Structure 1
Amino acid sequence: MVNKDWFRITPALSKPVLNCINAQGFKTMTPIQAAVIPLVLSCKDVAAEAVTGSGKTLAFVVPMLEMLLKKSKEPPLRRDFVYAVIISPTRELATQISKVIEQFLQEPDLNHMTLAVLVGGRSVDADMETLHRGAHIVVCTPGRFSDLLAERKQLNLPGRLKELEFLVLDEADRLLDLGFSATLTTILQYLPRQRRTGLFSATQTKELQDLVRAGLRNPVVVSVKEKSTISTPVLLENYYVIVEPQDKFLFLLNFIRNRRMVKGLFFLPTCACVDYWADVLPVFLTDIKVFAIHGKMKQKRTRVLEKFREAENTILLCTDLLARGLDIPEVEWVVQWEPPSQPAALVHRVGRAARGGAAGCSLLPLLPSEDAYVPFIRTNQMVELKDWRKSKDEIKISEKLRLKVLKILHDQQKKDRSIFDKGQRAFVSHMRAYTKHECNLLLQFKELPLGHIATSYGLLKLPLMPEIKQEHKDQFVGPVEEIDFNSITYKDKQKEASRLQKLQEYKKTGVWPSKKKKKMAQSQPWEQAKQNKEDKKQRRKKRKELKQKVGAEGKKGKKRKAITQEELDELAADVALMKKLKKGKITEEQFDQAFELDK
Structure 2
Amino acid sequence: MPKTWSEIGVSLHEDVKNGIESFNFPTMTPVQASTIPKLINKKDMVTGSGKTLAFLIPLLEILKRRETEQNWKKHEIGALIISPTRELAIQIKEVLQQFLRFISGLSHLLFVGGNSVEHDLNNFKCDGGNIIICTPGRFEDLLSRKNDINLTASLKSLEILILDEADRLLDYGFRNSLNTILSYLPKLRRTGLFSATQTKQVQDLIRAGLRNPILISVSSKAEHNTPESLDNYYIVVNNNNKLAAVLSFMEVRNVQKALLFLPTCATVDYWSEVFHHVLTVRSDMPVLAIHGKLKEKRKKILNKFRCLSRALLLCTDVMARGIDIPEVDWVLQWDPPTNASVFVHRVGRTARQGRQGSSLILLLENEEAYVNFIEKNQRVKLQRLADVTNETKGDDLRGMLHNLQMQDRNLMEKATRAFVSHVRAYSKHECSLLLRVKELPLGSVASTYGLLQLPKMPELKNLTLTDFKTVNIDLNSVPYKDKNKETIRQQKLEIYRKTGSWPGRNVKIVKKSTQPWCLTKQKKANRKERQLKKRRAKEVISSNDEQKQKKKRKRTSISDEDLQELTRDVALMKKLKRKKVCEEQFNKEFGIL
Q: Same fold (TM over 0.5)?
A: yes
* Cα distance in 1, alignment partners of residues 436 and 393 from structure 2: 30
Q: Which residue pairs with 1:94 in the alignment?
A: 89
Q: Which residue pairs with 1:288 in the alignment?
A: 285
Does the aligned pair in 1 maintain the 2:501–2:509 contact within 8 Å?
Answer: no
Please list, as runs of the form range in 1=range in 2, the aligned pairs for 1:128-167 lying within 5 A after superposition. 128-133=121-126, 134-150=128-144, 152=146, 154-167=148-161
Q: 2:477 aligns with which of 464, 477, 487?
A: 487
Q: Which residue pairs with 1:43 in the alignment?
A: 42
Deviates more, 1:75-84 or 1:361-370: 361-370
Please list, as runs of the form range in 1=range in 2, the aligned pairs for 1:328-407 lying within 5 A after superposition. 328-389=325-386, 395-407=387-399
Which has more radius of gyration?
2
Residue 218 (structure 1) aligned with residue 212 (structure 2): yes
The alpha carbon displacement at 1:27 in A equals 7.0
Report the 3-state secondary structure (helix = DSSP H, G, I; strand = E; otherwise coil) of the residue aligned with 1:370.
coil
Please list, as runs of the form range in 1=range in 2, the aligned pairs for 1:46-445 lying within 5 A after superposition. 46-50=45-49, 56-107=51-102, 109-110=103-104, 112-133=105-126, 134-150=128-144, 152=146, 154-286=148-280, 287-389=284-386, 395-445=387-437
The alpha carbon displacement at 1:198 in A equals 0.9
* Cα distance in 1, alignment partners of residues 425 and 17 from structure 2: 48
Does the aligned pair in 2 maintain the 1:17–1:62 contact within 8 Å?
Answer: no
The alpha carbon displacement at 1:410 in A equals 1.1
* Cα distance in 2, alignment partners of residues 282 and 337 from structure 1: 17
Does the aligned pair in 2 maintain the 1:17–1:104 contact within 8 Å?
Answer: no
Does the aligned pair in 1 maintain the 2:166–2:193 contact within 8 Å?
Answer: yes
Report the 3-state secondary structure (helix = DSSP H, G, I; strand = E; otherwise coil) of the residue aligned with 1:167.
strand
Report the 3-state secondary structure (helix = DSSP H, G, I; strand = E; otherwise coil) of the residue aligned with 2:193.
strand
Residue 499 (structure 1) aligned with residue 489 (structure 2): yes
What letter corresponds to residue 93 of structure 2 in structure 1? S
Please list, as runs of the form range in 1=range in 2, the aligned pairs for 1:427-576 lying within 5 A after superposition. 427-469=419-461, 471-479=463-471, 482-514=472-504
Deviates more, 1:404-413 or 1:462-471: 462-471
Q: Which residue pairs with 2:589 in the alignment?
A: none
CA deviation profile, 1:288-308 (whole Å, cap 9, x unmatched): 111000111022110000000
Report the 3-state secondary structure (helix = DSSP H, G, I; strand = E; otherwise coil) of the residue aligned with 2:156.
coil
Q: TM-score, normalised by structure 1?
A: 0.78
* Cα distance in 1, alignment partners of residues 509 and 259 from structure 2: 38
The alpha carbon displacement at 1:43 in A equals 1.4
What letter corresponds to residue 142 of structure 1 in structure 2? P
Q: TM-score, normalised by structure 2?
A: 0.79
* Structure 1 unaligned blocks of 5 or more: 20-25, 390-394, 521-568, 577-599
The alpha carbon displacement at 1:518 in A equals 9.8
CA deviation profile, 1:59-110 (whole Å, cap 9, x unmatched): 1111111222222234211111111111111011001111111112222x42
Report the 3-state secondary structure (helix = DSSP H, G, I; strand = E; otherwise coil) of the residue aligned with 1:228.
coil
Residues matched between the structures, number: 502
What letter corresponds to residue 232 of structure 1 in structure 2? T
Does the aligned pair in 2 maintain the 1:82–1:160 contact within 8 Å?
Answer: yes
The alpha carbon displacement at 1:423 in A equals 0.5
* Cα distance in 2, alignment partners of residues 78 and 278 from structure 1: 48
Q: Cα distance 1:154–1:385, how it changes in 2: closer, same or farther (>3 A)?
A: same
Q: Cα distance 1:76–1:357, how it changes in 2: closer, same or farther (>3 A)?
A: same
Does the aligned pair in 1 maintain the 2:113–2:296 contact within 8 Å?
Answer: no
What letter corresponds to residue 278 of structure 1 in structure 2? S
The alpha carbon displacement at 1:380 in A equals 2.5
For the aligned residues, what is the CA RMSD? 2.8
Does the aligned pair in 2 maintain the 1:416–1:490 contact within 8 Å?
Answer: yes
* Cα distance in 2, alignment partners of residues 238 and 183 from structure 1: 38
* Structure 2 unaligned blocks of 5 or more: 19-24, 511-534, 543-593
The alpha carbon displacement at 1:398 in A equals 2.3
Q: Cα distance 1:44–1:280, how it changes in 2: closer, same or farther (>3 A)?
A: same
**Structure 1 outlier segments of 4+, above 3 Å:** 16-19, 150-154, 469-473, 514-520
